[in-house]
Structure 1
C-alpha cells in the first residue's frame, strides 16, 4: 500500500509564521523543488541545491530586486540589485569600511552605543531590586534594546546628531515593513514611500555638504571613496545608506534577539557562554544556522536552467528557502537541536562568504555587513552577560513572530539577577 505525499505547504500563511519548521520538513522531504503560485516562483528547500545556486552568478540575476527596493530606498540601483562588474565596483568602494581595519575605527562607537542603551536599564533594575519593588530585574530586550541599537550605531557612523536618531528609527521601521510586505498592504506601501521621501530630503543635503570635507564619518568617507577614479554620485550614496540602514540594522536587530531567545531556552549553554566568552563565536555561528531570520531570497534565471530535473525557463524566478536549508538533516546532524558546541558547522568561516550556514546568503551577494553585525552582536551580548546573571524568560512570556521574509520576534521579555 502506497502512502501519498502531503500537499506542498504554503510558506505565506499565518500558521507558517507561527511554526515554519514542519512545513520546511515537508518541502525538503517531498517537494524539494516545487512551483508556488503566490510568489510565481519555484521553492527550493534542500541545502544541496541552495548552496550552489547562491554561488552561481552566471546563470542567475538579482536585478529584479530593484523593482521593490528602488521604490523604498532610492532611485539609484542598490548593490543588492546589481550584478557583474557594476556590483563588484560598488562593493569594492564600501567594503574597506566594513571589514578589518575600517571596521575597527567604528568599534568604539559600537561599544559606546551598547552601554548608552543598556546602562540606564541596568541602573533602573538594580534600584528596583534593591528597593524591593521587584525580586528580579526585568528587560524587554527587543523594544528596549535590539530594535534600537543597530539603528543608533548607523546614525553614529553617519555622524548624525542625536536629536535625529528618532527619525532614523522611523524610516528604518518603514523600510522593513515595506520590503517585507508580501501581501501588498497599501498602508505599508504608503508608509515606505513617505520614508523614502523623508530620508532623501534629510540625507541628500548632508551628502552635498560633506563632499569637500575630511571627516571620518561614514558619509564623508563614502564621498571620498574611489575605484579606478570613479566616485559614487549623491543618489548612489543615498541609496547605499538607505540599504545599510535597512540590511545592517535588520540583521543585527532580529538575529541578536533570536540568538538570545535560543540561549535563554538552553540555560546550560547560556551559562557555558557566560563562563567562557571564547565560545562567543560558536554561539553566534549556531545562531545564524538555527535561528535563520532571513527565510528566503529570490533569483531570476538569465537562461533556461535545469535544477535536478526541473527546468526553470529564462526569466523565471526561484525562491531559495534559506531557513529550510539551514535545518536540512542531509547537511547538519540533528538540525532542530540548538547546540553551540556543534562540530559539523565551521565557526572559523561562519562570518565569511564561505560559511556553512546560509544565513548571509552566498556568492558575490553575500551580506556585506556580516562583520559589522558580528561585532555588534558580540559587543551587546558581552555587555549583557557582564551585568545580568541567571537570565530567564519572564513568567507568562510567549514568543510571537512577524514577517514572512524576515521572521522576527516582536518582543523578548526577560528577567535576571542584577550583577
Structure 2
C-alpha cells in the first residue's frame, strides 16, 4: 500500500485528506500543533472564543456549502454591515460610495477628482495597484483611503503591488452612486458578499468537522526535513516517515527550508516570496455595549489595527452571557512591535475614541502569526512559478493559500485540497 503524507492540518490539508478518503486512498496528516484547523482554528480564554483572524463563509460553491452544512447544521446568517473609521469618524463601507459622514470640503474634493478620472483606460494595461486606484477613484480618494490602507494591510506602498489579486474585492461605483452616497446614508449594500455564514456553536472551526471525521492526523509532528531522494520525512522530535506521495499545505518558504540542497535560481525565487505577519489582539469585555458592526476597517495610521471584528456578534456562543468581545488584526513585519506599543496603539486608541471603556475590559491577549497575507508585488508570479515548478519536479504537491502562494479565501483553500488530482 502506498504511503501518502499530507503536511499541515489546516483547511486545505484536511480537504486533501477528505478527498483522498472518498476515493479509497488513505493518508496521514502531519500537524505541528496540538489540534487541527490552522488559521481556521480558534482558541478560548475564560469562556471567550476567538478565531485566528476573522472568518465567515460566503461561498457559492455547492460542495463547500454541503460540507459546511453537514459539519454545522445550525448556521447563523448575517447580512454584511461593515463600517470604517476615518479621522475618528464612522463611515459606511465601502467608503467610495458612502461619503455622507465626511466634511463638505472632502466630499467636494473626492467627487471632483472622481469626475477627472481618465476615460477609456484599458485596465489590462495597468500594472501598478496605485495607478489602478487613481484610475478607479481619482487621486484624493486613492491617496487618503486605499493607499493608506495598503500600507497597513499589505505593509508596502500601492505602487509596489500588481493588480491581478484585486478581482471583485474593491467596489467600483458610478459617479451617480458616489454623489448619492455623499447626500444620504441610505445607500444599498454594495459589499461583494450578500450573506455571511457562521456556525452557531464552536467557532468557524466547526465547519471542518466532516473533514476531520476518520482523518488520520498525527499532532505535535512538525516536519523539519524532506529527503526527496530517499522519500523520507523527519520531524523535530526525530520521527521518520517514508512516503510515496507527498502533499504540502505549508508555506512555500518553509518547504524550501526543509530541503537539503537548492539550485540558486530556486533559492533566489524563494527569497522573493513576500508575506505579512500578523498580530491578533483579542479583548474580552464585561458589557455588550460595543459597535454593532460585524467588522470594521481603520484608515487612521496612528491606530495600528487594519481591521477589527466582534466574535460575540458572529455568534453569542463565542462569549459568556452579558459579555462581548473584539479582535483586532495588526499586520506587520516580524518583530516590529513590542507588546506595550501594540496595546497602546490598538486598545488604547479605541479607548481614547470612546469606542471602548477601560473599566469594561476583562482581559487582552496578543498572539502572533508568522504568515498572514501573501504580498502581490511585481515579482510574485515568476518567483512563485519557479518555486512551485521545482517542488513539483521533486514530487511535492503544493496546495492551499500558502502552498499555492495565492490570495485564497477559506472556501478556495478548501477547494485547493478537495480538487487534488488522485
TM-score, normalised to structure 1, is 0.22
More helix by share: 1
TM-score, normalised to structure 2, is 0.22
More strand by share: 2
